[in-house]
Amino acid sequence: MAKLMSLLWGAGSPPCWRVMITLEEKKLQGYKRKLLSFEKGEHKSQEVLEVNPRGQLPAFKHGDIILNESCATCLYLENQFKSQGIKLIPDSADDQAAMYQHMMEGLALTDKLNSVIYYDCSVPEEERHDSAVKRNKEALTAELKLWEGYLENVAAGSYLAGAFSLADVIVFPSIACAFRFGLSVGRYPKLAKYYSLLKNRASIKTTWPPHWVASPQGYDILKDL
């Protein structure tokens, strides 16, 4: 099963991480994978463009089936391999609603993080404004406060939609990035608790970004948020 699967991925990419966590959770270890470098522009190489005309990672294949959107890949894997590994979509209507809701909101969280962390990468120099940077930081702060609220009662086994689910698969990588980039544990205690509860989960530990293991010290772009 896993032998028919291949993943082109990049280090430090939450979307790639989401797919890798899901593959672990569904007991699909043993898939082929290749680590590519964003810095060297390898995401725009012929190898990637053949699988993903958008030149983005992750790029995933299962036999002839191609999936290049991380959420799409995670939903596909959960639905195709429902009976193996961990159940990632809850049965109860309420938990399911919460799961889908937080999954999709997770995309807004990732966008807002990127708009702060990667501002200079995505905005040409002549178009940058301090007012925009400030506004993006304020939007990210408001977003993080929302998630603090969602995780008010976080505890072992009680995450974004009850038991560990696709919502956590989608969201955890961005939370981990936020702390990697200096988010204050003191100012966001619930997020910090969520982070510390899940960072040792097997699927997450196994797929931890290798360069984070190599250099545990991150950055401090978000320290004042």
* Chain contacts with other proteins (rule: CB under 8 A): 53-54, 62, 64-73, 75-76, 79-80, 93-94, 96-97, 100-101, 103-105, 107, 124, 126-127, 129, 131-132, 135, 146, 149
Task: List strand residue ranges (DSSP E) for 44-167, in order.
Answer: 59-62, 65-67
Would you say 134 or 205 has its CB closer to other proteins? 134
Where is 111: in which H helix or E strand? helix 93-117
**Min. distance of Cβ 103 from other proteins in angstroms?**
7
Give yes or no for a contact between 120 and 132, defined as CB atoms under 8 angstroms apart. no
Would you say 122 or 196 has its CB closer to other proteins? 122
Count other C-beta atoms under 10 Å from residue 136's C-beta: 18
**Min. distance of Cβ 132 from other proteins in angstroms?**
5
Name the β-bridge partners of 170. none
**Min. distance of Cβ 127 from other proteins in angstroms?**
5
Q: 63-100 burial, b if ≥16 CB within 10 A, otherwise e?
A: eeeebbbbbebbbbbbeebeeebbebbbeeeebeebbb
CA–CA distance, 199 with 205 (Å, rounded to integer) = 6
CA–CA distance, 217 with 174 (Å, rounded to integer) = 17
Name the β-bridge partners of 162. 159
**Min. distance of Cβ 45 from other proteins in angstroms?**
19
**Min. distance of Cβ 112 from other proteins in angstroms?**
12
Would you say 132 or 185 has its CB closer to other proteins? 132
Give yes or no for a contact between 122 and 114, defined as CB atoms under 8 angstroms apart. yes
**Min. distance of Cβ 31 from other proteins in angstroms?**
16
Would you say 39 or 127 has its CB closer to other proteins? 127
Q: 16-30 burial, b if ≥16 CB within 10 A, otherwise e?
A: bbbbbbbbbbbebee
Would you say 132 or 202 has its CB closer to other proteins? 132
